[in-house]
Amino acid sequence: MDNYVNEKDYDLLDQDKYTFFVLRRIIDGDCELLLSDHERLIICFTAFPFPVWIWTPEDASEEELERAYLLARENDLLDGKHRFNLKYEPAEYFLKRAVKDGINFVISTNMYAYDCPEPIEPEEKADGYLYKCSEIDIDDLMDFMEMFHEEIGIDKQDRESYYDAAVEDIKSGKMYFWKNSKGENTASCKYVPTEQMASINLVYTIPEYRRKHYAQNLVYQVTLKVKEEGLKPMLYTDADYIASNACYEKIGYILRGKLCTISPE
């Protein structure tokens, strides 16, 4: 296994360009661990609190899944602290195999990957307007980040980390709020380009403003921004959030792939 990636790895991830969009992006950055044989296996871990990504082909054999498991164990990733993003078959293998080592994993999140070939304007209009975040919004954006991660219960960080992330998001010019007719920040959303695609994330509506169609209108408007840049919009959702998935589908998002997160029980 090598500690670097090359064009072969990018070609492999193109086979799963929706479900492994994030992996395609993070392998180009700083990683605590990066392993690849450039043919059948990629393992990537950036840092806490983020999950370990493991890519395997659809036809991975049991021997290949065992190899992935052993590499994870050899690199201290099976210490009861790390989470893993995988396809369902390797996830099931990890769950059963880990029991032999006295480790209990559970599927903590079922994820859907969507793209949006043609945005559809929402039928339900929301009061207010799209607002691009600027430096004066750093504190508010930090609050949104903290609320978002507290609610989903993963990737939680300290305020200093949220500050650094907020500064970078605002510098990117791709971070947005939806302000209602009173000028109040009700929902957040950003997009992150990688080559021909852009991932829409940090979609969060403050509880008191929910069921007013703010997030749906915000995501639609941000999706248009992505399309204007000549990029294909995509996003991940929690498959168990039926209402939010229906919301995305109404504005043109189409299910393209599935994967899951497994976590120590």
CATH of the domain at 135: 3.40.630.30
Closest CA to 251 of 140, 143, 114, 152: 114
What per-residue confidence (pLDDT) applies to 188?
A: 97
Q: Residue 169 belongs to what domain range?
A: 129-257
What per-residue confidence (pLDDT) applies to 100?
A: 94
What per-residue confidence (pLDDT) applies to 241?
A: 81
| Cα torsion angle, 175, 181, 183, 184, sign | negative
Backbone angles phi, psi at 124, to 5 degrees: -95, 110
Looking at the structure, tell me whether residues 134 and 249 fall in a common domain: yes
**Structure pTM?**
0.84
Looking at the structure, tell me whether residues 63 and 142 fall in a common domain: no
Looking at the structure, tell me whether residues 173 and 85 fall in a common domain: no
Contacts of 21 (CB under 8 A, 6+ apart): 113, 194, 197, 199, 234, 236
Looking at the structure, tell me whether residues 134 and 253 fall in a common domain: yes
Looking at the structure, tell me whether residues 197 and 233 fall in a common domain: yes
What residues does 234 pair with on adjacent strands? 115, 199
What residues does 129 pair with on adjacent strands? 179
Q: Residue ranges of the chain with pLDDT lower than 50? A: none
Looking at the structure, tell me whether residues 246 and 152 fall in a common domain: yes
Looking at the structure, tell me whether residues 97 and 142 fall in a common domain: no
What per-residue confidence (pLDDT) applies to 85?
A: 96
| Cα torsion angle, 153, 47, 265, 55, sign | positive
Domain assignment of residue 21, yes or no: yes
Per the structure, the count of domains in the chain is: 2
Looking at the structure, tell me whether residues 91 and 143 fall in a common domain: no
What per-residue confidence (pLDDT) applies to 194?
A: 85
